[in-house]
Amino acid sequence: MAQQPNKLKGRKILLGISGGIAAYKAADLASKLTGAGAAVRTIMTENACKLIAPITLEAVTGQPVYTSMWQGPQDFKIGHVQIADWADLVVAAPATANLIAKVAGGICDDLLTTTLCVCWDKPVLLAPAMNSQMWANPVVQRNLTVLQEQLKFKTVGPETGRLACGTEGIGRMAEVPQIIDAILESFK
């Protein structure tokens, strides 16, 4: 990670966590961003919550974690729009094939996909993570191209290495220092 103190101080980063096994890295990412002075709010999909507990993200960020479009009456102020408006940058880590496909297709069936649909005009960074066969799928690549070319979403990774399925190949989510470097690059 680049040694650039204060570059993240005061930045508002919305972290979206989808349901890939790499979700465990998101807690470290959130912790390091918060430690660098960024305000980090988190949206987790239902499947992400099966892999890592929202309380973990609340503890490392000091902020509530959003897991549903229908979370508490005090939050109903068209939440996905307000959360998107609040953020200087949105980071989806991990960005699964499912998440990429939904956003590329305009499918808004949970809080994260709905929020990303609202964010088409602001900086979004995706950290893809999936099995190498999924990553190589032409449909996944087409969906990623749609997000990169039409919505100007940026990506970091994936990396080559040992995957959750036990095989070696491309598909590992980028490591936290690489993601932070990409975030810093987004703010230039």
User: Quick check: is 7 in a domain?
Assistant: no
Domain that holds residue 23: 12-186
User: Quick check: is 41 in a domain?
Assistant: yes
User: Quick check: is 23 in a domain?
Assistant: yes
Instruction: Give, to the nearest 10 degrees, the angle between helix 79-86 and helix 111-118.
Output: 50
Query: By the 8 A CB rule, do 17 and 90 touch?
Result: no
Per-residue confidence of the chain (188 residues) as pLDDT tens digits? 444 558 999 999 999 999 999 999 999 999 999 999 999 999 999 999 999 999 999 999 999 899 987 665 454 454 557 788 899 999 999 999 999 999 999 999 999 999 999 988 899 999 999 999 999 999 999 999 999 999 999 999 999 888 777 788 898 999 999 999 999 999 88
108 flagged as catalytic: no
User: Quick check: is 85 in a domain?
Assistant: yes
User: Quick check: is 5 in a domain?
Assistant: no
Whole-model pTM? 0.91
Look at the chain and report how many structural domains it folds into.
Answer: 1
* Beta bridge mates, 40: 13
User: Quick check: is 19 in a domain?
Assistant: yes
Q: Which residue among the candidates 49, 108, 117, 165 is catalytic per the annotation? A: 165
